[in-house]
Amino acid sequence: MNRTALIQLIQRKQSFLCVGLDSELSKIPAHLLDSEDPVFEFNKQIIDATIDLTVAYKPNLAFYESQGLKGWQSLDKTMQYLNSFKDEVFTIADAKRGDIGNTSRLYAQAFLDPSSSLNFDAITVAPYMGEDSVSPFLSYADKWVILLALTSNKGAFDFQLFENKDGKKMYQEVIEKSVTWGNSGNMMYVVGATKAEMLGEIRKIIPNHFLLVPGVGAQGGSLAEVAKYGLTKDCGLLINASRSIIFASSGLDFAAKARAEAMNMQQEMKAILLEI
């Protein structure tokens, strides 16, 4: 999905919501555990309940890799199902890969290549090893790299906010350097919602790039604050919510409750978009 198609999708659905499919087996409603593939069945019902309200889905690979072969099968089935919707959803592999060039090339092939059964639109990448670890992911047309820039965890203070002698923070250095590797049509950045006040400074560096913003919902980030500092004329935001939507209920009504939570966010997003 290229930039134009993503913007059109946001406009059509009046939403910039990304649902994180952090489908932890121990939290899946008990009545699904007897199904052939509980994780896929859970994902499918969440997708069916929210697809008209969201523009993106983001499986976090840890919840699938930790289940071994069964987890990969669940992920594969989930992606085949999502890819059947074609232009209706943007898919993100929350894999946080980043290694030497040859290894990154194979990671990119696994997650982004159209011949792969996964065939994601985007993948999260850690930029610590530099340009040659990121460039293989940028070699696919209409696919996206989403670089970790400023995360919402408390450990972000260990490195990302470290200042050099000129007072520039490390995350700013990462953005300024990496922005030359791609463009606003194939690169996004992860910026945590709990760091919303820093979005103004980030927008001075990358005024047009899309930002993937986790931390709204269960982590307490404010959608209004993120929009205040991060919104662009093309929206420029994908707001991820995971637990607050997919685990809104652990009962038979889990899909309906997920839809209700997603609708609340979509309605707030619609109001924000109407003001652009």
Expressed as residue numbers, the domain containing 110 is: 3-274
70, 77, 96, 270: the catalytic one is 96
Q: Specify the number of domains making up the chain.
A: 1
Catalytic residue at 204? Answer: no
pLDDT tens track of the chain, all 276 residues? 999 999 999 999 999 999 999 999 999 999 999 999 999 999 999 999 999 999 999 999 999 999 999 999 999 999 999 999 989 999 999 999 999 989 999 999 999 999 999 999 999 999 999 999 999 999 999 999 999 999 888 888 899 989 998 889 999 999 999 999 999 999 999 998 877 788 999 999 999 999 999 988 666 678 999 999 999 999 999 999 999 999 999 999 999 999 999 999 999 999 999 998
What number of helices (H) and strands (E) belong to the chain? 12, 8
- Give the CATH number of the domain where residue 52 resides: 3.20.20.70
Backbone angles phi, psi at 55, to 5 degrees: -100, -15
- Contact assessment for residue 10 and residue 16, using Cβ atoms and an 8 Å cutoff: yes
Residue 217 confidence (pLDDT): 66
**Side chain identity at 160, as an amino acid letter?**
Q
pTM: 0.96
Distance CA 105, CA 269 (A): 36
Question: Measured at the alpha carbon of residue 272, what is the angle toward residues 7 and 145, in degrees to the nearest 5?
Answer: 35
Distance CA 74, CA 196 (A): 34
Distance CA 276, CA 273 (A): 5
Pairing between β-strand 90-97 and β-strand 17-21 as defined by DSSP bridges: unpaired
Residue 258 confidence (pLDDT): 98
Residue 196 confidence (pLDDT): 77
Residue 219 confidence (pLDDT): 63
Residue 154 confidence (pLDDT): 84
